[in-house]
Copies of this chain bind each other. A is one copy, B any other.
Amino acid sequence: MEIIEHETKKEMVKQLGIIDCDVHQSVNSYEDLKPYLPRSWWNRLGGEGYGVGSGGVFPGPNYPSPVGILREDSYPENGAPGSDIEFTKKQLLDEYGIEYAILTGAALHLSVLANADFASSMASAYNQWTAEKWLNADSRFKGSIIIAPQDPKEAAKEIDRWSSHPNFIQVQMGGAAKMPYGDRYFDPIFEACERNSLPLAIHPGAEGDGVSHPLTPLGHVQHYIERHCVLPQTIMTHLITMVFQGVFNKFPGLKVVVLEYGIAWMPHMMWRMDKNYKGLRMEVPWLEKRPSDYIREHVRLATQPIEEPDKIGQLDQIIEMMGTDKMVMFSSDYPHWDFDSPKASLNLIKDKNLKNRILRDNAKEFYGL
């Protein structure tokens, strides 16, 4: 495979001032959240009364990864990967010259908890912990306000609560949910994001686990590798329903950031939406332009796990098919097992200007950093 020399030199990468849109800071133990969590929920954090093999805070995975979900070398001297601020700065920010790291947490199973009140309280505690521990520690860290989509009105309150904090720059919820995000059930969340001018990020992690639906339109699959391959179906469903059920007509200021679903499914989805709109627009009279125009205006995609074609230039073609060079933004997914390095993961993109847009400019403009 051809290697583009330019991108293999760390110095060059550093000059760019990369923005990494998906960095998972983590608690070392859920005990860390106790100070921020009402005492009535403390028993949910495990401990006495729960036997071995049960009593995790979040539902366990139906599809455990055979390689775990963490990078082998991401363990700090003490504690869990992503839990040590100095180690994270050294291993990620300093190593790659990252100007801003957008923190996305490690509470990805919040959205598949059966108990909406516990989920809302956990989200709130997580945000408090992130604000105190991480957002005060280094100005390169920017935070995501975690919300529980199980209770849209509580989620809206949580968004309002943090919206004036200078270092929370977006809202974030899991992809696994009770129903597609196009449904009016979620309107209070979209309204709060728009009111506070905060983009809404959607991140996978709990699909097929907990009280989520089975993983596909055919029910469950068998292996983690299959689960990982069907994940984009979740975000395609959210975006298709958000456009056609009129979310962007009701909330024209809403912006959506798609994290960790890859990027190459996008042209197909836009084309299929546009073609069907030609024949079936009478069903969705509130739309004022083509579906793909809504996507281009309102949606951004983070790269990881970026697809790896056999030929250099094919990812350039995929992005060209999206009809804009502003949609795609770099993400590493540190410290997870399928981490995409800023140095190597964009080697398959040929156009240097496009690469710079992805590594830096698009996120800088989008988030106003």
Chain A contact residues, CB within 8 Å of chain B: 65-67, 176-183, 207-208, 212-226, 228-230, 232-234, 236-238, 240-241, 244-245, 262, 264-265, 267-269, 271-277, 279-284, 305, 307-310, 314, 317-318, 320-321, 323, 337-338
Contacts and interface: CB of A to CB of B under 8 A. Distances in A.
Contacts of A321: 309, 314, 317
A213 B220 CA distance: 10
9 contacts: A66-B280, A179-B220, A212-B217, A213-B217, A217-B234, A223-B283, A226-B245, A271-B308, A314-B321
Given A226-B241, A233-B216, A221 B182 contact: yes
B223 A284 contact: yes
- Which of A208, A216, A273 has the most chain B CB atoms inside 10 A of its CB? A216
- Which of A268, A269, A317 has the most chain B CB atoms inside 10 A of its CB? A268
A272 B240 CA distance: 21
A219 B265 contact: no
A230 B225 contact: no
A269 B229 contact: yes
A179 B217 CA distance: 9
Given A179-B218, A217-B217, 16 more contacts: A66-B280, A67-B279, A181-B218, A182-B222, A214-B217, A221-B240, A221-B241, A223-B244, A225-B283, A229-B272, A230-B236, A233-B236, A265-B265, A267-B314, A268-B268, A310-B323
A276 B191 CA distance: 37
Nearest to A307: B271
Nearest to A321: B314
- Chain copies in the assembled complex: 2
Nearest to A228: B276
A237 B230 contact: yes
B230 A308 contact: no
A305 B233 CA distance: 19
A230 B240 contact: yes
A241 B280 CA distance: 32
A216 B237 contact: yes
B244 A280 contact: no
3 tightest Cβ-Cβ pairs between the two chains A and B: A271-B307, A264-B268, A216-B237
Contacts of A279: 67, 337-338
Contacts of A236: 229-230, 233
B240 A218 contact: no
A218 B238 contact: yes
Contacts of A281: 225
Contact of A228 (B181, B280, B307): B280
A292 to B, nearest CB: 9
A266 B225 CA distance: 17
A264 B283 CA distance: 24
Contact of A237 (B217, B234, B323): B217
Nearest to A222: B245
